[in-house]
Structure 1
Amino acid sequence: MSLYWRIFLLNAAVLVTAVLLLLGPVTVSTPVVLGEAVVLLAGLAAMLIANAVLLRIGLAPLGRLTRAMSAVDLLRPGSRARVEGPGEVAGLTTSFNAMLGRLEAERAGSTARALSAQEAERRRIAQELHDEVGQTLTAVLLQLKHVADRAPAPLREELHQVQETTRTSLDEIRRIARRLRPGVLEELGLHSALRALTAEFTSGSLTVRHVIGPGVPRLDEAAELVVYRVAQEALTNAARHAGASAVEVHLSGRPGGAVRLLVRDDGRGIGPAGEGAGIQGMRERALLIGAELAIGDGPRDGTEVRLDVPAVDTAAAAAAAVSTAGSGSGSRSGSGSAGDLGEGNR
């Protein structure tokens, strides 16, 4: 029976009973005597209680569905509202779950396209920095050296300073190009890329240590890129926002062919601040390969970022599902991932 008819029939039963009682044994005198007033008030209380109980029972599934709707997060997919209650409520919950599934698939597809375009643009910019700007600065360095060798002594020192400034700029451009396009990842693999990444972040105020466990299963290209970008963003957050002095990067194999990345620092932790574009970018990347990302406080204060990458077959199936969802969702543009390369937005 639908919720409408349940409420209507209960109200009708209560009202009919009240009318029959008034027409039968219950009468109202003028003025109203105490016994009649007690009977009328008791009847009114019974009507109100019956309606309240029915509405509480009938509308409880709607309240639970409302709470489930408010707790939905497309970056943490998989949660669904429990189907229960009368026919209309159960149908509404089923429709909501189906809509949520379509939204998750479309979000994953649009994010995959946006991140793919982002990586392509990064490769193009890195290539231009290396080929155009880098070669131009190299030529400038050679010309400065040629001029400095023939310049008078008073001018030679200034030219040497210009050379050092130009050389520093060239090194910075190369560093930016490496971060935009991790060539070591493509050429030497994930292990070497993580070693180079930890060495890049190690400085006088920050010590980064990497630990790569034995027998780490080999990942495909997409999964390796996700692991590298998550480690890069976690290290950027630790260096820029956490006030950390030491960071550990662990890469280890898990049962069933899975891989775990663990980045742990000794900084101030996340605290009550919400997740920024950097962390949201990490979650979006993790969704592309069906990985699970957990960010929270470390065992000894600080922040711990844990990425669990499923086995190669499972990750490939997740990537294929995302690709299928993306191709079936039309030409909608995705939100992309902001701040997952050095911007350091928690």
Structure 2
Amino acid sequence: MKKGVLAVPLFWRIFALNAVVLAAATALLLWAPVTVSVPVVFTEALVLLGGLAVMLVANAVLLQVGLAPLDRLTRRMATVDLLRPGQRLPVARQGGVSQLIRAFNDMLARLEAERAASSTRALSAQEAERRRIAQELHDEVGQSLTAVLLELKRAAERVENADLRADLRHAQETTRESLDEVRRLARRLRPGVLEDLGLVSALTALATELSTHTGLAISHSFQPGLPALDEQTELVIYRVAQEGLTNVARHADATHVEMSLRHSDGVVGLRIRDDGRGLGLAHEGAGIRGMRERALLVGATLDLGASPTGGAEVNLLVPLNRNGA
């Protein structure tokens, strides 16, 4: 409809559809060579019932055409997910339904912006809290366990009883394992290697540590010449890789995982592929939704699907035109 022409409200559109059906029925009764007797004979009743059926079918078809935009709007409202931005309905013309669809699209845009802003604040606070806890684990718990380890070592050297010395040695080993576990947790909470050595070194250390801790075979390949990324983008890629590998180790029953980092055409892509049991009909849990929220922070897209090896595949695509290279 051209600009300047008054839009027809939905009420008058439905009224016009029904008026067309009734007008057609009236014309049929006026010009059709059919009369109604008293009492009604069978052939006359058959003609009237046939005309009624035709009118009902025509009315149903016309209403379905007129209300189809509302059906599309209802389905989209039931399936919309703010973690998958850009889900908009096309607005083809003016009118009451088109105004409703346009308002729904505007509402989605506002909700996506508000969700992105709140996710940014929440994840920033989460990272700050992780750094604080990691620092306390390193400074307080780590130093205390180190002191206990040294005391046990000196006590074991002074004790002459062989059985007691063996017990102290066992306590020393247990303390050393606890200290290693505390350090491992601190590294997971605050990846210092990411800040000191960069993304590639951090991903390599993550794969090596997880493989050693879980026994899962993890192979990785990183394309040379990776563009320089800002701190937030590197942290998002690292956290997505960390969560993806952790999910494979916990839930996939896989024996081998492939992790790769590529860049081309202004996009940096992280891919994690395993040979486990795949996604199946499982619903997305908090871990996957957390990865989607992190992806939104840098304008990236996260896709999950089946891998050629029979397991699951995670693909994170980060556009460089948003974050710069």
Answer whether contact 1:264 1:298 (CA < 8 A) is retained.
yes
**Counterpart in the other structure of 1:11:** 18
Please state if 1:243 is matched with 2:253: yes
Query: How big is the alpha-carbon RMSD for the aligned residues of Structure 1 and Structure 2?
Result: 2.3
**Counterpart in the other structure of 1:260:** 269
Offset at 1:264? 1.5
Of 256, 281, 284, the residue aligned with 1:275 is: 284
Partners of 2:121 and 2:197 in 1: CA distance: 26
Q: TM-score, normalised to structure 2's length?
A: 0.90
Please state if 1:222 is matched with 2:229: no
Answer whether contact 1:61 1:84 (CA < 8 A) is retained.
no
**Counterpart in the other structure of 2:133:** 125
Matches of residues 99-138 of structure 1 in structure 2 within 5 Å?
A: 99-138=107-146
**Counterpart in the other structure of 2:5:** none
**Counterpart in the other structure of 2:177:** 168
Answer whether contact 2:25 2:55 (CA < 8 A) is retained.
no
**Counterpart in the other structure of 2:168:** 159
Offset at 1:259? 1.3
Name the aligned partner's letter for residue 292 of structure 1.
Answer: T
Stretch deviating more after TM superposition (167-176 or 48-57): 48-57
Please state if 1:298 is matched with 2:274: no
**Counterpart in the other structure of 2:106:** 98
Answer whether contact 2:21 2:59 (CA < 8 A) is retained.
no
Partners of 1:150 and 1:67 in 2: CA distance: 77
Q: Which runs of 5+ in 1 are unaligned?
A: 317-346
- Shift in alpha-carbon separation, 1:46–1:206, aligned structure 2, 3 A: closer
- Shift in alpha-carbon separation, 1:176–1:53, aligned structure 2, 3 A: same
Partners of 2:10 and 2:16 in 1: CA distance: 10
Offset at 1:11? 3.3
Residue deviations 1:289-334, cap 9 Å, x none? 01121111111212211111111x4136xxxxxxxxxxxxxxxxxx
Of 186, 190, 209, the residue aligned with 1:200 is: 209
SS of 1:202's partner is: helix
Partners of 1:46 and 1:159 in 2: CA distance: 95
Stretch deviating more after TM superposition (136-145 or 2-11): 2-11
**Counterpart in the other structure of 2:84:** 76
Of 57, 63, 75, the residue aligned with 2:65 is: 57
SS of 1:184's partner is: helix
Offset at 1:174? 0.4
Of 219, 229, 232, the residue aligned with 1:209 is: 219
- Shift in alpha-carbon separation, 1:246–1:4, aligned structure 2, 3 A: same
Answer whether contact 2:259 2:272 (CA < 8 A) is retained.
yes
Partners of 2:271 and 2:261 in 1: CA distance: 6
Offset at 1:213? 1.2
Residue deviations 1:175-217, cap 9 Å, x none? 0000000001011111110111111012373211221111111
Partners of 2:86 and 2:30 in 1: CA distance: 59
Q: TM-score, normalised to structure 1's length?
A: 0.84
Partners of 2:120 and 2:271 in 1: CA distance: 24
Answer whether contact 1:74 1:107 (CA < 8 A) is retained.
yes
Spell out structure 1 runs of 4+ moving beyond 6 A. Answer: 19-26
Offset at 1:116? 0.4
**Counterpart in the other structure of 2:243:** 233
Count of matched residue pairs: 315
